Structure 1
């Protein structure tokens, strides 16, 4: 299932699935979140989807912030030196902003990826 429409992407849930990896290509301004699945919620029906990705191509800007709850600190992470997500817990899709939040793989800090501009695409395998 390939999705190019932000409204359709808002009907996906990732809370019960793992992030396999996050890849940022600064040269072509592309970020890919590869996941082991998703739930498609439509008309009150949940359809489980297989492995796939969310991709933002030709983004304008990206900001990655790590929040450490223990010492109440936050740090900015660079596009070429960031911690991988383990779980994608929240995704906010606005007109020109994608805000992806979840727990980091190594430190379990709360990570926030704010991505402005670009085209958002999602593609997931059918589970059947």
Structure 2
């Protein structure tokens, strides 16, 4: 949905009654399909994803350390600048190309353990 309209999980979804616990931007609901049913926009199938994963796998992000700001898609937030920014940018350079190599080789077990460990450490 590109219209910035309010959405909610489909009533039959496991996430229909979920209430966010953290601050805005801490949790994201990612989905593959949405439908307008009457006056409501319903997300059909969804998964709860925490912000580190969204930042790691977003198509493009922009970080302005001087302003203390991060942007992706049509969303932005003010951030505390720190070493996590450099690690995020470095991981983004390595994660998808390495994953593509593993898929091409048809061997996900060849994904480097060191990179998995860095991702886990950064996301937690």
Determine if the TM-score, normalized by the shorter chain, exceeds 0.5.
no
Q: Counting strand residues as a fraction of each chain, which structure ranks higher?
A: 1
Higher RCO, Cα 8 Å, sep 6+: 1
TM-score by length of 1: 0.31
* Structure 2 length-normalised TM: 0.31
Rg larger for? 2
More helix by share: 2
